[in-house]
Chains A and B, each alone.
Chain A
Amino acid sequence: MSKNFTVHLKYWRQNGPTAKGYFEERTLDTVNEHMSFLEMLDVLNEELQLEGKDPVEFDYDCREGICGSCNLVINGQAHGPKKGTACCQLHMRNYKHGDKITIEPPRAAAFPVIKDLVVDRSAFDRIIEAGGYVSVKTGSAQEANARPIEKETSDIAFDYATCIGCGACVAACPNASASLFTGAKIAHLSQLPQGQVEQSRRVVAMVDQMTEEGFGDCSNYGECEAVCPKEISISAIAEMRKDYVKAVFS
């Protein structure tokens, strides 16, 4: 049996997009090293509810690091301190007795706060709608090997396609840029033959939409790659830029 330990939490509370937010503080004495970060927040919410207070709202779904719902900024780092790890997979064994933990929502004009730590990430959906798709012939599925694709190419495409759209890139970027997300969505399609048909239209439409949503410019800080739970390389942004320039001159 592992022993319980104490952490001091400081978390953001905000009633709505236009309401003024503030920090609330609370000490939790029953944190266990086997808990995930979100389970620790569950314990916090249980305590709050037992006292008749509103629980702290936070986003989650799978709690397996694959859905991209969670996106907390923990002690100033998107998804917390662990490389390649979504905060739902961050375990409390990474903290020690007496640690102070500050939890904030991702802060970006394009991600308005819905409540507390939950932000509206539908800007990402609109970027995808603008061009993150391929048109395919309907009917029965094509034979899988009809279109040979080199292993290296499919691996690169897959690496970009692992983006779960959590928005940590935006949260961590000093400019609140969505370039890694948009770049990954563009780059995974542009690697493959299926993505070629709409490539020029796609990159222009998605870059336009990204700008329209109010995300900042990319300044090549590379912080997005460092915090990405899927460790997507900023080469995705290079692909986006190349595709864009190609589209302009095509």
Chain B
Amino acid sequence: MPSYLKAINSQVGRKFMTGITGIGLMLFLIGHLGGNLTIFGSAEAFNIYTDKLMSLGPLLYVIEAGLAFFFLYHTILGVSIWLNKRKARPEGYNEYKTRGGASHQSLASRSMIYTGTIILVFLVLHIIHFKFGADYSTVLSESGKEVRDLRRLVIEEFQKTWVVIGYVGVLGLAILHLSHGFWSAFTSLGMKHGDTSKKIQTAAYAFAIVIMAGFIFIPLYIYFTGGEGSLIAY
């Protein structure tokens, strides 16, 4: 039987790993959104949450390295599949049209490489923007501990028009990426076409819209309430 290395680089293995890493990244998104929503919890909930993350110490580095690995592996696979396609069809059609019906060709599925690239660029900027952004500090009322005031940075940044436009735009594109990616991941892991597949496609749309609506709500809310909305001002 093939070695694991050979198997993972086969056409089946590559797609399988794209699905696995994709599912891993979607699970991360759920966690990320959960964390973000603590900003509506109380005046200090968000800073307590980020401080807890930071105090994981070396474990945080392990988690970050794991995430970076998932993102990179997912990207490399996506790009290699895209490059392979150009090799497999060096001369394109003069005219090309989907037949519809059973086809899953859509704006979402055809634009995975582009939405994926935009998300990757966004990711780098997003980390620079917040993780390495202005280092305000505050003192937690209960413990008296001095922690980073990421909440202040978030509220300040999301009052800038260009920042909000950028975030909402990219997160909107991520709906496209997820709405095909969610279904495709399960298909790559061996899900057959049929009733389950149809339900998974519906779940994919729901997941993509609900998750991204959650992410998009935060900058929009802060922007339109000037950071003074009743959900966020304490």
Binding site for B on A (CB under 8 A): 10, 21, 23, 73, 75-78, 81, 83, 102, 104, 107-110, 172, 174-177, 179, 200, 204, 207-208, 210-211, 214-223, 225-227, 231, 233-235, 237-242, 244-245, 247-248, 250
Contacts and interface: CB of A to CB of B under 8 A. Distances in A.
B216 to A, nearest CB: 27
Main secondary structure of the interface of A (DSSP, over half): mixed
Contacts of B93: 73, 76, 104, 107
Contacts of A177: 11, 88
Contacts of B102: 222, 225-226, 231, 233-234
B105 interface: yes
Nearest to A74: B95
A214 B88 contact: yes
B89 A109 contact: yes
Interface in B95-118: 95-105, 109-110, 112
Interface residues of B, number: 46
B88 A179 contact: no
B105 A241 contact: no
A77 B99 CA distance: 7
Contacts of A223: 98-99, 103-105
B11 A235 contact: no
B12 A83 contact: no
Contacts of A77: 97-99
27 contacts: A23-B94, A75-B97, A102-B94, A104-B93, A107-B89, A175-B88, A176-B89, A204-B1, A211-B11, A214-B88, A217-B84, A218-B11, A219-B184, A220-B104, A220-B188, A222-B104, A222-B193, A223-B99, A223-B105, A226-B98, A226-B101, A226-B103, A233-B194, A237-B187, A239-B192, A245-B190, A248-B2
A147 to B, nearest CB: 25
A78 B101 CA distance: 14
B103 A220 contact: no
B91 interface: yes
Contacts of A244: 7, 10, 12-13
Nearest to A100: B95
B131 interface: no
Nearest to A12: B94
B105 A216 contact: no
Contact of A108 (B2, B88, B101, B109): B88
Interface string B5-28: 001001111111000000000000
Contacts of B190: 238-239, 241-242, 245
Contacts of B189: 241
